[in-house]
Amino acid sequence: MATPPLLEVRGLCAGYGDSQVLWDVSLAVPRGSVVALVGANGAGKSTLLKTVSGLIKPRSGEIVFDGRSIAGMAPQQIVAAGLSHVPEGRGLFTRMTVLENLQLGAYPAQVRARMNESLAHIFELFPRLAERRDQRAGLMSGGEQQMLAIGRAVMACPSLLILDEPSMGLGPLIVEEVFRFIRRLHDSGVTILLVEQNIQSALRLADHAFVLKTGRVVMQGSGAELLANDEIRKAYIGSLG
């Protein structure tokens, strides 16, 4: 019998006010995998992530996480259930230190007792955060801030980590470093759902990927399959030489 996916979205419709953005979206994220969600700007990728994490209420459809329906649940309940979301823009408390930002990530009651253990894990994964633990977050580089945002989400001990555009605004060398950290997180046992503007890097990392266009899933396959797909290359990547 096949193992059920950690996250399953079925027939999801969502939007803002009178505007509908997502139309009958279905996808699955298997346990232990990296799944990428790719598409052009305005395709509905961030809206989908926000709906899954409870920031937007779905209009219809199902969201099942770890065997439990979470559609319409409050964001803090979803975090407590084991799903953490790193939003586009990071959302750090810039006047607070690295350590204080990380400690805020451990607010679910069931993970507070493990805070010191979680901090040690984060500092092992991200040595630079350990070096800057007493520095204000706002004084860090963009790449360091992205590491902190990811680290803060991991402090909640998620089984699923959702990342929205982790490389946005970063230089090529820093992007490579951020992706190395994402791989390290995945190797530590975290399942990852990734939205990323650097589609080439995302597909190289992903076990499976879904292509979203105007709020609908129009294609899916392994990361390697989509990376080799001529239509995907022409539309989103260009010539790779």
Nearest to 145 by CA among 91, 108, 209: 91
Residue 113 has pLDDT above 80, yes or no: no
From the DSSP assignment, how many helices (H) and strands (E) are in the chain? 11, 10
Local confidence band at 112 (pLDDT 50, 70, 90 cut-offs): confident
Indicate the length of the chain as a whole number.
Answer: 241
| CA gap 62, 72 in Å, rounded | 9
Give the SS3 label for residue 16. Answer: strand
> Taking a C-beta distance cutoff of 8 angstroms, is the pair 49, 195 a contact?
yes
pLDDT tens, position by position, 151-186:
999 999 999 999 999 988 888 888 888 888 899 889
Local confidence band at 240 (pLDDT 50, 70, 90 cut-offs): very low
Q: Per DSSP, what are the bridge partners of residue 7?
A: 29, 65
| CA gap 15, 220 in Å, rounded | 23
Q: What is the pLDDT of residue 82?
A: 94
Residue 186 makes CB contacts below 8 A (sequence gap 6+) with 34, 192
Q: Delineate the domains of the chain, giving CATH numbers in brackets.
A: 32-58+72-237 (3.40.50.300)
Strands 191-195 and 160-164: parallel
| CA gap 198, 201 in Å, rounded | 6
The pTM of the full predicted model, rounded to 2 decimals, is 0.89
Percent of the residues in the chain that have a pLDDT greater than 90, as a whole number = 64
Q: Which region among 173-182, 204-213, 224-233 has the lowest average model confidence (pLDDT)? A: 173-182
Local confidence band at 50 (pLDDT 50, 70, 90 cut-offs): very high
pLDDT tens, position by position, 63-78:
999 999 999 899 999 9
Q: Tell me which H or E stretch contains 28.
A: strand 19-29
Q: Please measure the distance between the N-terminal and C-terminal CA atoms of the chain and give it in whole angstroms.
A: 43
> Taking a C-beta distance cutoff of 8 angstroms, is the pair 82, 66 a contact?
yes
Q: What is the pLDDT of residue 111?
A: 79
